[in-house]
Structures are given as C-alpha cells and as structure tokens.
Structure 1
C-alpha cells in the first residue's frame, strides 16, 4: 500500500499532492541543505550513510505558555495518543514494575489518561482490589475511557475531570502510586513545580511517583531530521514571541527531561532513580509500522506551525520533506530509536513536619512539606560533632 501523502490545507478541505511526482536526488539534496543556520540542526546532504538524525518523540511539546498548538480532539492526535499507550504497554510488558505490583496498593492515580484509558484498564484488571483513578481535562476522553472500562467489566476505575494546572481534588496522603507519561508534551514548563508539589502532597508516606519521558529520538531519515528541525525552530520562535518584555515577567523554557530527577529531589522525594529503556522501531522490528503511523500523524499535526507566514519552511518544501520521510521509513535499512527515561521518587516515610507556603497562586497553604527525618538527623549530628571541639577550645581559653 502506498504511504499517504501530506495534505494541503484549503479552508476546511484537504487535497493531496500528485502521487506521480518524482523526487530526483538533486531536488532532495536542495531540500535537505541547511536552510537557516548550521546550529539549527538541519541535516547535511554530505552526511555518510547510516547517520542518525533527530526524530519525533512523544515528549515533543505541543503547548507553549498554556497555548495548545494541537487540539487533543483532533482525530490524528486521538489516534496518536491511543497508539502510544498500547505500544508502551507492549514494550514494558506490564503497566507497573514488578516490585510495585507485589506491594498492596489501595489507590493508584494516572495523570492525563489516554483517550481509551488503556493503562487504567490494564492496572484495574491486574489489581481488582485497587481503586484506579485517572484525571483528564478532556470530557470526551473521560466518557470514552469510562465506556471502555464498563465494557471490560472494570468496576474499580474512576475518571476525574481536572486540568494539571490546578490543585488536584484528592485528600493529602491518599494515593499509593502516581503515574504520568510524556507530560512534557502538554504541561508548560512553569507548571512543573506546582504539579510535583501536588504529587508530593497526595502520596502517602512511602508512596511513589513514576514518570516516563522520552529523552531523544533519532533515525536514519534525513528528511525526518529536516522536519524535526523545522518544528523545533518554529517552537522556539513561538516561545520567544510569547515571552513578555516586562522586567520580571515569566519566561518559557525549552523541554529538558534530564532535569526531572533534580526537580523531584528538590521537591522532597527521596531515593530518586532514573532508568533508560531503548525502544527500537527500525525496519523489521515489531513497532516499525506503529512508529511510521506516529510520525505521519505528528508531522501532519504540526504542519501549520512550520509553514505559517514566518515559518521556517514553505508549504511545498514541507510537503516534499514529509513525502521523502515516508519513503525513507519504508527502506529496509531504516533504523530508528526512542530513548525512554523512567524517573521514580519516593515520599519519605520517616519525616519531620515543616510548613512550606503553597506555590499555587492565590491559594493558602493547605499542607505541609515533609522532609526525610533520617537525613536531617544525620546533618544535625555532623554539625554537633564539628561544633564540639570548638566549644571545648573556647572553654579552655576562658
């Protein structure tokens, strides 16, 4: 079956490029040369065969300063999120790590469910005595996930409508495990401290926060690298345009998943650990076809961002790169990888009460920040040992 082509937009209608249009090497080379500046990441036509270029990842942000660049209700976005959820369950073989499944859990919370509630239903089936909760800001996602849960007979699932930008409507220390996947795609950078603080408040002592992000994607598709560079350049232009010029105003930072472990530790989580998992979608691998669909959907969704009046590519150049990427992904020598990162942190079970003002604007502090008691005790003992010789010396001098 011939790979679908990118559509031109004409009002609300769409029409395809000519399928008989040939892409000669000279035309492709002209397309793939750096179009802006060398450090923008555009692939060079002189790169050796087998070179890996940046590729689409599920953590690529689709929101800038709380402005959604892609509607969650778009049919392509709906399909992309559903495919991602199913693919991850297959890749990891189980919804939770083994050492979590063996621990009794009364309540489990998923941040931002997928449209069909795939992960929720897996956990609910494996742990029928656990109250499995999912939150979403999309009412239709909630209805759809509830419907599939009812069809599957999962009566221990509850869906709550709530955006992550607000306080989560659950009591303090009421959740055993909180899970979130690819939150960087939809959560603005400045909201991360607020969300982590909420997760810390909700977890019971000893509870775990389990986050999944994609550090980077790469493939042998040079055209895919061109599309990624155009998308990221457009995103940076949108970020810069959204930054207020007033002194002291909030700025928008780029996506940096490698900072998550440090952020968890700063929030108060202990035993923070990071694990990496390689998802191989090269030609002949099980997820190759799914990732082709994912890339097709993603680059159609972000096409308006990359081809607007001040965009880095013209619509014609973008369409040609898109079509070339589809052909490159079908080659038998194609290689592609997602570098997935799992970040876990635990709420300390031994703790000292220490009130910290809430970071939520306009809201009074409604909980206390808990710090690891053993760590504080060790620090106090070390300080006492250092002060003891000085005090003895002062006494002798007196």
Structure 2
C-alpha cells in the first residue's frame, strides 16, 4: 500500500491530544449504544475468535469487546503513541489478558500475516484517509481476513453534524467539507457540497475487493434539546469543532477570527431549548468469500 510521508500527519487534529482522546472515549461509548451493540446482530459470533480494530484510538470499542468476550483475542492498532499508552494502561488495570495494542499506520501495509483475523472493525477514519487510500486499505483488510471473515466500516458523510437548526453549525459543517475536499479526503464532486460522499462508495469498494453478502445499516442519532443523546453529542461537537480549527485555518478555508465567531455562536445555539439536530452515519460490512 502507499505510505503517507512520515512528515505529514494525515489526521485532521493533533493525534496526541489528550482532549481528543477524551472525546473519542465518549464518542465510542455513545456510538456503540446507538448501534445497539458491539457486533452486527446478524453475524455468527461463535465463528469470531480473532478481532482487529483499525485506528482504535484510546481503545474503547476494542476493550469493550475484550471485556464482554474473554474467549476472543482482540488487537487494536493506531499511530498515536499517547492513545496506545492509555489503552494499554487501561487494559492492564482491567486485567484484560486477551487484548493487545500496536503502533501501526492504517494508510500503509498492515503488518499481519494473511488470514490472521475473523473480524475487522473500522470506525470514523474519514478524517485520516485520503480518498485514493480507501480501496487499498480494504484490499489489505481482505488479505488479513480468514475465509468467511467480516470487514465492518462505520463512517459518516459530515463533520458529526447532520441536519440541525443552528446557522453557525451549518456554516462550520460547510467549512469542514470544503477543507476535506481541498485536502483530498472527500469524494464529493464539488467543493461546496455539504457532504464527504464517502458512505455511498463503501459498498462498491467492498464489492470490487471481492467481498460478498454486503450489507448497509444506517444509524440516526437525535441530539435535539431534550433528546437522550443531546448532552453527549453536543459536548462531542464542542470539542471536535474546537480542535479542528487549526486544520481549517491551514487549509485556507477561514480566518481564526471567523472560526472563533462561528464557534461562539454554535455554543449559544446548542444550548437553546428549541435546538434540533440529527446526525446520521452508516455501517457497511461484508464477508471474505470462503
């Protein structure tokens, strides 16, 4: 696979940030609740013994799997030393003997032998992937899956925002999608499209790589005022929209002053009793032919 130049960080925020680590821990728990569990409900978990979590971050999903399924061997990989150290420390504190974490770049060749895993999980990596890398990553996942193994990708087409009632949040969403377009992360055909265009591509990528029995499961998270997910996701947005500002500024999308004004107005809007918002994301998964 094509290696990203080591001098260039592909992630849109500081991958070693403790604030980003805390955000990802909370987001992992929120997303798993919204998805109704750790695994797709229609797979035979009895056939899943070795599990890989790509770009695992602080290891939230991986450790939940290891805790709930002590019979499974779980591996998490990431390029953030801080997050890997945190995940390893947490696993040791919980005395999880069936989990390991390794430094590994998802945009390069994966350092595992062929047919090593029964299930590979990938969540929300649109922020670290150039669009040309996606087909290569999926082919690499197929290589390290066993026959009958499952690759599941869960991702989104916007900056965690979706449809909402905040003008400031809508403008921030457009700035993010423009920056993704300019930096080669978006599949949208126009810079002003308010989406990444990723999720419609995933099933075709899996099909082209030779996966079968491909399924698409949409998820909808209501974070309107008064909704159960309101506090958790609005806090998620507050942190994410703060941390992404250097990326937007460096992409030439907006000045720091403009970003600060939009951010302050977003904070006000999210706290209004009449605020509404629905964020959508999708899981696409398929099987390696036996």
Q: Provide TM-score, normalisation by structure 1.
A: 0.63
Aligned residues: 270
State the secondary structure of the residue aligned to 1:204: strand
C-alpha change, 1:256 and 1:66, in structure 2 (3 Å) is: farther
- The aligned residue for residue 227 of structure 1 is 172
Structure 1 gaps of 5+ residues are 1-64, 241-253, 350-398
Structure 2 residue 284 is the aligned partner of structure 1 residue 343: yes
- The aligned residue for residue 107 of structure 1 is 50
State the secondary structure of the residue aligned to 1:73: coil
- The aligned residue for residue 94 of structure 2 is 152
Q: CA deviation at 1:215?
A: 3.3
- The aligned residue for residue 218 of structure 2 is 276
Q: CA deviation at 1:255?
A: 5.0
Q: CA deviation at 1:101?
A: 5.8
Distance (whole Å) between structure 2 residues aligned to residue 221 and residue 197 of structure 1:
40
State the secondary structure of the residue aligned to 2:52: strand
Which of 21, 33, 43 in structure 2 is aligned with 1:78? 21
Distance (whole Å) between structure 1 residues aligned to residue 40 and residue 180 of structure 2:
34
Distance (whole Å) between structure 2 residues aligned to residue 228 and residue 86 of structure 1:
23
Q: CA deviation at 1:326?
A: 1.1
Structure 2 residue 163 is the aligned partner of structure 1 residue 218: yes
Q: Tell me the alpha carbon deviations over residues 114-144 of structure 1, each in whole angstroms, 9 at most, x when there is no partner.
A: 21x1111211122111111111112222221
State the secondary structure of the residue aligned to 1:76: helix
**Matching of residues 1-398 of structure 1 within 5 Å:** 67-100=10-43, 102-115=45-58, 117-216=59-158, 217-239=162-184, 255-307=197-249, 311-349=252-290
State the secondary structure of the residue aligned to 1:98: coil
C-alpha change, 1:283 and 1:271, in structure 2 (3 Å) is: same
C-alpha change, 1:237 and 1:159, in structure 2 (3 Å) is: closer
Q: CA deviation at 1:347?
A: 0.7
Distance (whole Å) between structure 2 residues aligned to residue 238 and residue 176 of structure 1:
34
Aligned residues of 2:13 and 2:247 also touching (Cα < 8 A): no
Distance (whole Å) between structure 2 residues aligned to residue 202 and residue 305 of structure 1:
33
C-alpha change, 1:259 and 1:202, in structure 2 (3 Å) is: same
C-alpha change, 1:294 and 1:153, in structure 2 (3 Å) is: same
Aligned residues of 1:184 and 1:255 also touching (Cα < 8 A): no
C-alpha change, 1:277 and 1:160, in structure 2 (3 Å) is: same
Distance (whole Å) between structure 2 residues aligned to residue 233 and residue 110 of structure 1:
29
Q: CA deviation at 1:338?
A: 1.3
Distance (whole Å) between structure 2 residues aligned to residue 202 and residue 312 of structure 1:
39
Distance (whole Å) between structure 2 residues aligned to residue 211 and residue 180 of structure 1:
5
Aligned residues of 1:200 and 1:347 also touching (Cα < 8 A): yes
Q: CA deviation at 1:155?
A: 0.5
State the secondary structure of the residue aligned to 1:291: helix
Q: Tell me the alpha carbon deviations over residues 313-360 of structure 1, each in whole angstroms, 9 at most, x when there is no partner.
A: 4433332221111111111121111111110110111xxxxxxxxxxx
Q: CA deviation at 1:231?
A: 3.0
Distance (whole Å) between structure 1 residues aligned to residue 277 and residue 24 of structure 2:
19
C-alpha change, 1:305 and 1:284, in structure 2 (3 Å) is: same
Q: Which has the larger radius of gyration?
A: 1
- The aligned residue for residue 4 of structure 2 is none
Structure 2 gaps of 5+ residues are 1-7, 186-195
Q: Tell me the alpha carbon deviations over residues 85-131 of structure 1, each in whole angstroms, 9 at most, x when there is no partner.
A: 1111222232112333642322011111121x111121112211111
Q: Provide TM-score, normalisation by structure 2.
A: 0.86
Distance (whole Å) between structure 2 residues aligned to residue 239 and residue 214 of structure 1:
16
- More displaced, 292-301 or 267-276? 292-301
Q: CA deviation at 1:307?
A: 4.2
Distance (whole Å) between structure 2 residues aligned to residue 316 and residue 137 of structure 1:
32
Q: CA deviation at 1:163?
A: 0.5
